[in-house]
């Protein structure tokens, strides 16, 4: 399994696949450590997590460079990703005990009744390449601190990031086995889920991968959290702040080289402001710097792999053949590396790939809508339901519309983002289960009812 620098197409490193004895030995170690780790006071687990935040910040440049080299993320965004990982660790280091304290429930006089939150065991994390540190830490920070242990199956093109994350926990002083990384291909995940030593599964990835994991996990009766794909609408109403919406829209579409599940992908613009928005949005997209992701001035780096570049361009080409207008970009750059320029498609037919599929790259679909009602209809006319953003000068109007959009996350006058303080989840084909906040930390615990009656001599 090879890791290739997408900016140069040079091979970074070749990794040997872990054989079955190696995988089994690591699972045995994880299970043995769980029996000890679960009994440690949560205050000790919180303290170790705070140390993880320190390790991340002390080595931020090293980890950011690793991300940029392996999957092409612009270096400043990579540094910001490391900082966000430190933030989620600090958040749960401060709040985990509060979120998992016994929940006392009044029942009858003389009885003590409450709910305790108890860890379930080793939890498998199947994680993607696009946010190779953040996706792992937003899983690991809450669930390890809850008393579980983590088994990571990372994407092969970012195995170097997986090894670096292992070293973070080692440097912070975690016992061996609390965080384990496996170098295996996707084809072996089902067998891993079926293993009795795995007690739950969290996956961030495609809807196809989510269905496969859900099928196996369901058969094994194991809990899952699935954060899957998205085709997020970016709704620009007739009273929207156009300049800000255009600027933030370009950022929302192209951040992380456009390779984000919660990126704004379909721009639904009211006809009265359509021309103005398209003009400003085009200016913003055209002004972005495409180039070497290791340079601070770069806004958009390469796509993460050659096949991803090819698939993206094929979707754009099929959309144009279907009748869409290529307003900007639309052709891979003629140079080394997997570079695709900021691209805008307009006049997109309802059945074109740009309207019906997730485009995982810096390609925006801009659609004209006649009314607010049409904007909501088109926003919901997708199998996905991850995020959405609404832009309007009337926040009450925007808030009212949030109730009409079928998505797990809806933002008004702000781009969709994950934040440790609030829950993050999808609906429909975008998955199920919750990450982050106090909701997320309770996904892989047993909510155990405890009922204690006082001893009495009466019969």
Q: Kindly list the catalytic residues.
A: 227, 261
What number of other Cβ atoms are within 10 A of residue 221's Cβ?
Answer: 6
Decide: 206 and 178 in contact? Cβ < 8 Å.
no
DSSP code of residue 188:
G
Distance of CA 168 to the CA centre of its chain: 20
Decide: 157 and 71 in contact? Cβ < 8 Å.
yes
Decide: 14 and 1 in contact? Cβ < 8 Å.
yes
The rounded distance, in Å, linking the Cα atoms of 337 and 321 is 26
The rounded distance, in Å, linking the Cα atoms of 424 and 31 is 29
- Sign of the torsion formed by the C-alpha atoms of 123, 128, 130 and 132: positive
Alpha helices in 100-236 (DSSP H): 134-145, 159-171, 189-194, 207-220
Half-sphere exposure of 110 (CA within 13 A, CB side): 4
Decide: 373 and 219 in contact? Cβ < 8 Å.
no
Stated length of the chain = 459
Residue listed under structure tokens 């370009």: 250
């Amino acid at each position: 399994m090879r890791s290739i620098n997408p900016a140069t197409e040079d091979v970074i490193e070749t990794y040997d696949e872990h054989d079955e004895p190696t995988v089994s030995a690591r699972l045995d170690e994880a299970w043995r450590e769980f029996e000890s780790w679960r009994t440690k006071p949560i205050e000790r687990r919180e303290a170790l997590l705070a140390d993880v935040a320190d390790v991340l910040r002390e080595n931020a440049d090293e980890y950011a460079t690793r991300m940029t080299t392996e999957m092409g993320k612009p270096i400043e965004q990579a540094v910001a990703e490391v900082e966000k990982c430190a933030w989620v660790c600090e958040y749960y280091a401060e709040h985990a005990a509060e979120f998992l304290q016994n929940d006392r429930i009044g029942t009858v006089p003389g009885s003590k009744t409450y709910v305790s939150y108890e860890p379930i065991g080793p939890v498998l994390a199947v994680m993607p390449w696009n946010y190779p540190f953040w996706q792992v830490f937003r899983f690991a920070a809450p669930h390890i601190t809850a008393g579980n242990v983590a088994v990571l199956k990372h994407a092969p093109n970012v195995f170097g990031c997986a090894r670096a994350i292992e070293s973070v926990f080692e440097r912070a002083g975690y016992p061996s086995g609390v965080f384990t990384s496996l170098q295996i291909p996707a084809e072996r995940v089902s067998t891993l889920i079926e293993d009795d030593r795995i007690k739950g599964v969290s996956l961030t990835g495609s809807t196809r991968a989510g269905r496969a994991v859900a099928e196996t996990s369901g058969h094994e009766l194991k809990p899952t959290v699935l954060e899957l794909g998205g085709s997020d609408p970016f709704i620009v109403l007739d009273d929207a702040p156009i300049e800000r919406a255009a600027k933030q829209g370009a950022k929302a579409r192209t951040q992380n080289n456009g390779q984000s599940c919660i990126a704004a992908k379909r721009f639904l613009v009211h006809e009265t402001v359509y021309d103005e928005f398209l003009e400003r949005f085009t200016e913003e997209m055209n002004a972005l710097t495409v180039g070497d992701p290791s340079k601070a001035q770069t806004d958009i780096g390469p796509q993460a792999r050659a096949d991803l570049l090819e698939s993206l361009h094929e979707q754009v080409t099929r959309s144009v053949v279907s009748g869409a207008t290529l307003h900007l970009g639309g052709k891979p750059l003629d140079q080394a590396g997997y570079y695709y320029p900021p691209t805008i498609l307009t006049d997109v037919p309802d059945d074109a790939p740009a309207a019906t599929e997730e485009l995982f790259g810096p390609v925006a679909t801009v659609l004209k809508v006649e009314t607010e009602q049409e904007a909501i209809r088109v926003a919901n006319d997708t199998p996905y339901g991850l995020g959405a953003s609404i832009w309007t000068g009337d926040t009450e109007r925007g808030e009212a519309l949030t109730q009409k959009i079928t998505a797990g996350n809806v933002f008004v006058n702000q781009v969709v983002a994950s934040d440790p303080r609030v829950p993050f989840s999808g609906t429909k084909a975008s998955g199920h289960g919750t990450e982050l906040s106090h909701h997320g930390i309770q996904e892989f615990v047993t909510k155990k009812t405890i009922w204690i009656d006082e001893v009495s001599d009466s019969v």
